[in-house]
Amino acid sequence: MAWYWNPGSPAQGHVGGWGPEAAGRAGALAEHAAAAAVTAAGHAPARAGRPEAGPEPDPPEAAWSGTGIAAQVLVLTGRSLRAVVLDPRLLLASLFAPMVMLVLFSQLFASVAAAPGFPDVRYIDFLVPAILVTSAIQAALNTGLGLTQEMSNGIITRFRTLPVWPGSVLLARSLADVVRNAVQLLLVVVAAAAVFGFRPAGGPLGTLGACALALAVGGCLGWIFIALACWLRRVELMQSVAGLVTFPLVFASTAFVPASGLPGWLRAVAQVNPATYGIEAARGLALGQPALLSAAIALAISLTVAAAAAAVAIRGFQRRR
């Protein structure tokens, strides 16, 4: 800073005087000092003696525990069922496959009823319980395909941003399709009774028991397709792989022919097929035969498969890619 002493001027209580240029520079420096003081005051603690606060912590992650799992599943299930209510053609389209199977196989294998070793029942009464179980498995396949479609169009990505348990999205999808499948199976039974004279020895109660067991088995095995959907995430790939899984479940079983009428190697495959246990149990209930043990075995196997597949499905669902 440049300053000078003017000997001809009075002291004015100072040791010297400032020139105009120096005074301007001094004012600028004073302004900078004041600004620095204000900035320092803004960062200083509000009260004396209080330590300076550190950076604010990140906001806590959203927790699904804020809403009960039951409420989450109920809301998401209603959302899936709303699509069927708004477009009943989805339900009518799902009836096409079981009705075609009922018409074709009731005529194609009708002569099997005269073969040695066939139970003393009409073939239509033998066939319809199997159609119920295979229809439930087909509906389970549609569950996986629908989930894959939602993963492709971005709906599942939106669900990931919600504070919900990941498993509730999958469970709601499964329950919604079980409800829709229940309506489908009842319509199949009505059509079989009206058109083909389906009159099993177990009566209406046995038929309802067969429908309930078919729903349970189909809902449990449906987790296989949900797991595939969570890992494959492509509709075309899901269709190819799911078809390979569905075909042996349906046809490598006792759905259309008794075990005694199958070749040796196919009989061995049918004996380890989980669908076979469900078919035999549903058939026993519809025909009025003792089937509690078969039903218990079918449910135990189906629940075991569902538990393993659900764990795999949730792990795949939580992947980012």
pLDDT digits over 20-36, tens only?
Answer: 444 444 444 444 444 44
Say if 288 falls within a structural domain. Answer: yes
Dihedral over alpha carbons 9, 14, 15, 20 (to 10 degrees): -60
Q: Which two tokens stand for residue 45?
A: 């603690």
Distance between CA atoms of 260 and 240, rounded to whole angstroms?
A: 31
Distance between CA atoms of 144 and 234, rounded to whole angstroms?
A: 11
Q: pLDDT tier at 48 (50, 70, 90 boundaries)?
A: very low
Say if 9 falls within a structural domain. Answer: no
Residue 131 has pLDDT above 50, yes or no: yes
pLDDT in tens, 1-11: 444 444 444 44
Say if 262 falls within a structural domain. Answer: yes
Q: Return the pLDDT at 44.
A: 43
Handedness of CA 212, 276, 176, 189 (dihedral sign): negative
Say if 296 falls within a structural domain. Answer: yes
Say if 156 falls within a structural domain. Answer: yes
Say if 14 falls within a structural domain. Answer: no
Q: List, in order, residues 6 or more apart from 186 with CB less than 8 Å away.
A: 211
Q: Which two tokens stand for residue 259?
A: 């075990």
Dihedral over alpha carbons 161, 76, 71, 137 (to 10 degrees): -120
Residue for token digits 């599942």?
A: 156
Q: How many domains does the chain have?
A: 1
pTM: 0.73
The average pLDDT across 55-67 equals 50
Say if 217 falls within a structural domain. Answer: yes
Q: List, in order, residues 6 or more apart from 217 with CB less than 8 Å away.
A: 133, 136, 137, 274, 275, 278, 282, 298, 299, 302
What is the SS3 assignment for 17?
strand
Print the domain residue range for 235: 66-317
Say if 56 falls within a structural domain. Answer: no
